[in-house]
Amino acid sequence: MLDLAGKNALVTGIANNRSIAWGIAQQLHKAGANLGVTYLSDDKGKMEKKVADLVAPLNPSLFLPCNVQNEAEINSTFATIADKWGSIDILIHCLAFANKEDLSGDFSQTSRFGFQTALEVSTYSLARLAGAAKPLMKSGGSILTLSYLGSVRAIPNYNVMGVAKAGLEASVRYLAAEMGPENIRVNAISAGPIRTLASSAVGGILDMIHHVEKIAPLRRTVTQLEVGNAAVFLCSDLGSGITGQVLYVDAGYEIMGM
């Protein structure tokens, strides 16, 4: 059933009302899930306030800072979940980062530090968060991450993030193989291009969106809520037979050759 009542779902990656994670959080809430939300804190507490105001109507029972580059914050997030919830059913990993200078120009010029940062935040963090969630997924669970076509095709300017997403999709398969015996499913949604804070750092993102609107079978790109709907499906019992997969939610763009 698509009913998520009684399920504890942690959503990472909400920055503002354009975030894909915001679309997912709204649809999880609609399906009845009890939400926990993490945010990336900054020195002035601006992000905390912004995200808190945005998610207030969804009544999250947990609201925690979790910078995935900060071990203490990750440990504290999952310690709080263990303490307040006791168990977790759904983990939404919906975050990524690369330095802006590494999202245009020649891929061969990516700096060592830029490469490490992109893969640490965007790729390693999935395994790290999944590993922390695993012992708390006591009656099975569902882990979902967000990918993009640049993992399997060379997309102009996507560069190091394409490498990060290739690693992310491989991580989905390894995590699914590891956690399947515990009835924990791990999947990715590969979303079509959407205007968000993160995507605005990719050189030529508007051209990419216009290209998809011309070429995709549905002659448009997708919305955050459409990604949210697919996320709810994958995390609910309706997706109980699906693990290790990358589901394209991209108005069909991925199938096109010319």
Ligand X SMILES: NC(=O)c1ccc[n+]([C@@H]2O[C@H](COP(=O)([O-])OP(=O)(O)OC[C@H]3O[C@@H](n4cnc5c(N)ncnc54)[C@H](O)[C@@H]3O)[C@@H](O)[C@H]2O)c1
Let me know: does 25 contact 11? Beta carbons within 8 Å.
yes
- Region 80-109 residues binding ligand X, contact defined as CB under 6 A: 94-97
One-letter-per-residue 3-state SS of 98-141: CCHHHCCCCHHHCCHHHHHHHHHHHHHHHHHHHHHHHHHCECEE
Catalytic residue, chosen from 148, 174, 248, 253, is: 148
Q: Which is nearer to ligand X, 32 or 47 (CB)?
A: 47
Let me know: does 50 contact 77? Beta carbons within 8 Å.
no
User: Which among 191, 152, 172 is positioned nearest to 242, based on CA atoms?
Assistant: 172
Where does this chain touch ligand X (CB under 6 A) — which range of 29-37, 82-90, 99-107, 195-203?
Answer: 195-203
Q: Is 130 in the site for ligand X (CB under 6 A)?
A: no
Where does this chain touch ligand X (CB under 6 A) — which range of 7-15, 107-115, 210-218, 233-241?
Answer: 7-15
Tokens representing residue 165 in the block: 């997403």
Residue 148 annotated in active site: yes
Q: Is 110 in the site for ligand X (CB under 6 A)?
A: no
Q: Is 8 in the site for ligand X (CB under 6 A)?
A: no
E-assigned strands of the chain? Answer: 8-11, 34-39, 62-65, 90-93, 141-147, 184-191, 246-249
Catalytic residue, chosen from 39, 124, 158, 248, is: 158
Least CB distance from residue 51 to ligand X, whole Å?
8
> What residue ranges bind ligand X (CB under 6 A)?
13-15, 18-21, 40, 66-69, 94-97, 121, 146-148, 191, 193-194, 196-199
